[in-house]
Amino acid sequence: MKYIDEYRDRAVAQVLSHKIRDISKRPVRLMEICGTHTMAIFKHGIRSLLPDNIELVSGPGCPVCVTAMEEIDRSVKLAKTPGVIVTTFGDMLRVPGTDSSLDAEKAKGADVRMVYSTFDALKIAAENPDRETVFLGIGFETTAPTIAAAIKTAYQNHQLNFSVLSAHKLLPPAMDALLSGGDLGIDGFICPGHVTTIIGTSSYENVVTRYHIPCVVVGFEPIDILQGILMLAEQIENRRAEVEIQYKRGVTAKGNLGALRIMDDVFEPCDSPWRGLGIIPGSGLTIRQKYAAHDARARFDLEVPPAKEPSGCLCADILRGTARPVDCKLFRKVCSPRNPIGPCMVSSEGTCAAYFKYSD
């Protein structure tokens, strides 16, 4: 299959593995900041193809995982509100809040529906004109443009029973927050291809300039990942720090200008809470005043008490890259995909879910 088979070629993978071993001599810590990369690295056994001096660290790249618990609590409060239909992507259903989850509320009779796009939610709103339909807007810059388009469509069509609870996250500010602590020892970033398709590589220039950390934008097939690691190894050994594109079939320096325009029209940056990272300035997206009629925060009482992490759960440390799932006393013993304690085990792209599925 074109664009699949050639990126899973065993012989090419072996060649890249040998090149990495030949080039990389010093101890190196590389962080993949995307849950899709984390899953692909485990699924294809990428670590087994790398020399011992290269360590891969999973970062806060799963949008479900980094959604602050108070946002989960707000969504649960919405589900309990009479006359409200809550719509969301599938992974959000089982993420535990302080006292409940959307899945638990659905079992009690709340109208919570899984959708595949925001336009599915718009359709539900049109079919139920006497009820409020709220879409939970989570995700990075990859999903934000489509959610912005849905809000704009609802605004243009005067569809006033549709709103969005925006908990969107912006990736570059999180990278800056990770590095500003100075204790991670990250030598390079494996940057996500899909997010960068939207924002462009210019968004990483500040990280490279300020911290002298190389960034390579990488696709999600095994050859993509190995080639990206090779490019990072070459930069590190030559003491360079640049933004490079491995995923040239999808990424440019400027990104998707149309998607960026619609995001900027509907959203504006705001300070935002991240699970494990706290409040990061300018790292979230809030709905502009022009579209306030479609902002769930403006339409509903969403005040919730301060949230606390589940006792013993290390999701916050895992998202920062300071712990691994196997360091958590709950992992496999109490916390599993059937009984997730934290979001890293719930999400299909969560680090704990990847360790559970693919490691011994």
Q: What is the dihedral of CA 345, 93, 262, 169, to 10 degrees?
A: -40
Helices 144-156 & 118-127 angle (0-180, nearest 10): 30
Task: Kindly state the tokens that stand for 270.
Answer: 């705001």
DSSP 219-264: -SSHHHHHHHHHHHHHHHHTT---EEES-TTT--SS--HHHHHHHH
Is position 249 within any domain?
A: no
Is position 116 within any domain?
A: yes
Closest CA to 198 of 153, 264, 244: 264
Q: DSSP class of residue 308? A: -
DSSP 314-326: -HHHHHHTS--GG
Q: DSSP class of residue 100? A: -
Task: Kindly state the tokens that stand for 204.
Answer: 């990483």
Output the pLDDT for position 40.
94
Output the pLDDT for position 180.
87
End-to-end CA distance of the chain: 31
Does one domain contain both 76 and 57?
A: no
Residue 335 pairs in a beta bridge with: 331
In terms of residue numbers, what domain contains 341?
315-358
Does one domain contain both 212 and 184?
A: yes
Does one domain contain both 261 and 345?
A: no
Does one domain contain both 163 and 284?
A: yes
Please check whether residue 156 is in contact with residue 182, taking contact to mean a CB–CB distance below 8 angstroms: no
Is position 250 within any domain?
A: no
What pLDDT tens digit does each residue of the chain (360 aa) get? 566 788 899 999 999 999 999 999 999 999 999 989 999 999 999 999 999 999 999 988 788 889 999 999 999 999 999 999 999 998 899 999 999 999 999 999 999 999 999 999 999 999 999 999 999 999 899 999 999 999 999 999 999 999 999 999 999 999 999 898 767 889 999 999 999 999 999 999 999 999 999 999 999 999 999 999 999 999 999 999 999 999 999 999 999 999 999 999 999 999 999 988 899 999 999 999 999 999 999 999 999 998 888 899 999 999 988 899 999 999 999 999 999 999 999 888 899 999 999 986
Closest CA to 273 of 151, 195, 181, 173: 173
Does one domain contain both 211 and 259?
A: no
Is position 248 within any domain?
A: no
At 221, give phi and psi (nearest 5°). Answer: -90, 160
Does one domain contain both 144 and 44?
A: no
Output the pLDDT for position 1.
56
Check which CATH number belongs to the domain holding 232 and give it: 3.40.50.11750
Task: Kindly state the tokens that stand for 102.
Answer: 């959307």
Q: Is 166 helix (H, G, I), strand (E, B) or coil?
A: strand
Check which CATH number belongs to the domain holding 83 and give it: 3.40.50.11740
Report field, pTM of the whole predicted structure over 0.85? yes
Is position 304 within any domain?
A: no
290: how many CB neighbours lie within 10 A of its CB? Answer: 12
Is position 247 within any domain?
A: no
Does one domain contain both 158 and 102?
A: yes
Strand order in the sheet with 84-88: 112-114, 84-88, 132-137, 162-166
Is position 260 within any domain?
A: yes
Does one domain contain both 26 and 13?
A: yes
Query: How many structural domains comprise the chain?
Result: 3
Does one domain contain both 106 and 14?
A: no
Residue 123 vs residues 45, 118, 142: alpha-carbon distances, Å: 41, 9, 22
Does one domain contain both 108 and 128?
A: yes
Q: What is the dihedral of CA 108, 295, 282, 40, to 10 degrees?
A: 50
Closest CA to 46 of 16, 22, 23, 1: 16
Does one domain contain both 70 and 127?
A: yes
Does one domain contain both 152 and 279?
A: yes
Is position 158 within any domain?
A: yes
Residue 168 pairs in a beta bridge with: 285
Q: Which residue has the tokens 């001599």?
A: 25
